[in-house]
Amino acid sequence: MPGRLDIAWWLKRKRREAYQRSLMARGWYDPHARSEADAIFIGGCGRSGTTLFKQLLNRHSRLACGPETSLYGLPFNPANIGPYWDIPVRELERRARAHRNLITFADEFYEEFLRVEGKKRWADKTPNNVRVVMKLLTWYPRGRFIHVIRDGRDTVCSLRHHPKEKVVNGRIVPVKVNNPIAKCAQRWVDDTSDGLALRSHPRCLEVRYEELVAEPEQCVRRVCDFLGEPYEPAMLEPSATPKSSARTAQVLNNPNADNRISPQSVGRWRKELSPDERREFVSVAGELLIALGYVTDHSWMHEPMEPGA
C-alpha cells in the first residue's frame, strides 16, 4: 500500500497536471499574443555565465533582472516560480487565471516587479529561454535576446554537479547530482545550437563568457549598445548589486554569482576532465567546439591533466 507521502505527492502531481491542461485549453500559449514591453531575455546552456550577465544588468540603474522564471521555455508551473520570488503558489495561480494568456500575465508580473524595484526595464534570465528564442521575439516585437556561450569543456565541468537545489513542497532544498559527461555535453550542444540558429537576427546578440572575463568593460559596453542603454561603471562593481524583494541570488546553485569577474573558471577542464571524459566530450561535442573556434582539432584531449582538481 502506498504511504501518505506517496499519495500526497501523487495528488499534487495530478492537481498540477490538471491546472496545466486548463491553461492549455484556453490558449495560454497563444501564438498571436503580443507585448509592447522592450523586454530583455538572457539564455544559453546552463552554467555558461547567464547568472553573471544577469547580475551585470541588474546593477544598471534602469534595468531589473530577478530570479529565473521558466515562464517561456517550460510548461507554466507556479510551484517552481513562487519559492524563488517569495510569492505564494496559490497567489500565482490566481493571477494566471485572471489573464487570457501567458503574455498578459508576464506583462503584469514584470510591471509589478519594476514598480517594486524602482526601475524602467525588465530582463528575464532563464537558460531555457535559448530553446524558444523565435517565440520570444514574436511575442515581444521590441524584445532583445542575449545568447551567452561558454567553452563547452568548462561548461560540462560545472553541469555535472548541477542543479544543486530543487523545489520540494514549496521549499528550496539542496541536492547532490553527478551527471555523466556525455549527457552534459549533449545539453551543451543542443542548447548552444538552438541559440546559434538565430545568431544573425538583428535582435539577438551572441556573447562569450571568455570575452567578458578577458575584456569586461568592452564586453559590457557592447551589450549596452545592443540594448540601447548607456554603459554604467557600476555594472562591473559587485558592491553595486541592489537589494531586491525577490530572491535574486541563486544561493545554492550559484553561491559565487556576486563575485567579481575572475579568470579562474576559464580552462578548468584542464584540471577536471580525465582522458576518458575528454574522449566522451569529443564524441558528442567535439565538432561544435571546433565550429565555435575554441580549438582547431581534437588534439587538446591528449594534453596532460593539470594538478589541482
- Please give the average per-residue pLDDT across 125-139, as a whole number: 97
Whether 187 is in a domain gets the answer: yes
Give 152-168 pLDDT, tens digit per residue.
Answer: 999 999 999 976 666 66
Q: Are 209 and 48 in contact (CB under 8 A)?
A: yes
Q: Give pTM, 2 decimals.
A: 0.89
Secondary structure of residue 259 in the 3-state scheme: coil
User: Please, how many CA atoms are within 13 Å of residue 4, restricted to the half-sphere of its CB?
Assistant: 0
Whether 286 is in a domain gets the answer: yes
Residue 255: pLDDT over 90:
no
Give 170-223 pLDDT, tens digit per residue.
Answer: 666 666 778 999 999 999 999 999 999 999 999 999 999 999 999 999 999 999
What does the H/E/C string look like for 14-74? HHHHHHHHHHHHCCCCCCCCCCCCCCEEEECCCCCCHHHHHHHHHCCCCEEECCCCCCCCC
Whether 125 is in a domain gets the answer: yes
Residue 250: pLDDT over 60:
no
At 179, which CATH number?
3.40.50.300
- Please give the average per-residue pLDDT across 73-98, as a whole number: 87
Strands 165-168 and 40-43, by their bridges, are unpaired
Average pLDDT for the chain:
89
Whether 283 is in a domain gets the answer: yes
Question: Cα dihedral sign for 25, 26, 29, 30?
Answer: positive
pLDDT at 233: 97
Whether 298 is in a domain gets the answer: yes
Give the residue carrying C-alpha cell 497536471: 17
Whether 262 is in a domain gets the answer: yes
- Please give the average per-residue pLDDT across 127-150, as a whole number: 98
Q: Are 157 and 272 in contact (CB under 8 A)?
A: yes
Q: Could you give the number of structural domains in the chain? A: 1
pLDDT at 165: 64
Question: Distance between CA 243 and CA 181 in Å, rounded?
Answer: 36
Taking the chain, what is the end-to-end CA distance rounded to the nearest angstrom? 47
Least confident of 1-10, 134-143, 210-219: 1-10
Residue 254: pLDDT over 60:
no
13/113: higher pLDDT? 113
Residue 135: pLDDT over 90:
yes
Whether 309 is in a domain gets the answer: no
- Please give the average per-residue pLDDT across 132-152, as a whole number: 98
Whether 105 is in a domain gets the answer: yes
Which domain covers residue 275, as residue numbers? 22-246+257-302
Report, in angstroms and rounded to the nearest whole number, the Rg of the chain calculated over CA atoms: 20
**CB contact set of 34 (below 8 Å; sequence gap of 6+):** 103, 139, 140, 141
Question: Which DSSP letter does residue 112 get?
Answer: H
- Please give the average per-residue pLDDT across 286-294, as a whole number: 98
pLDDT at 164: 66
pLDDT at 249: 42
Least confident of 146-150, 248-252, 255-259: 248-252
Quote the strand ranges of the chain, DSSP E.
40-43, 63-65, 121-125, 144-149, 165-168, 171-174, 204-208
Residue 5: pLDDT over 70:
no
Which three cell numbers mark 51? 547568472
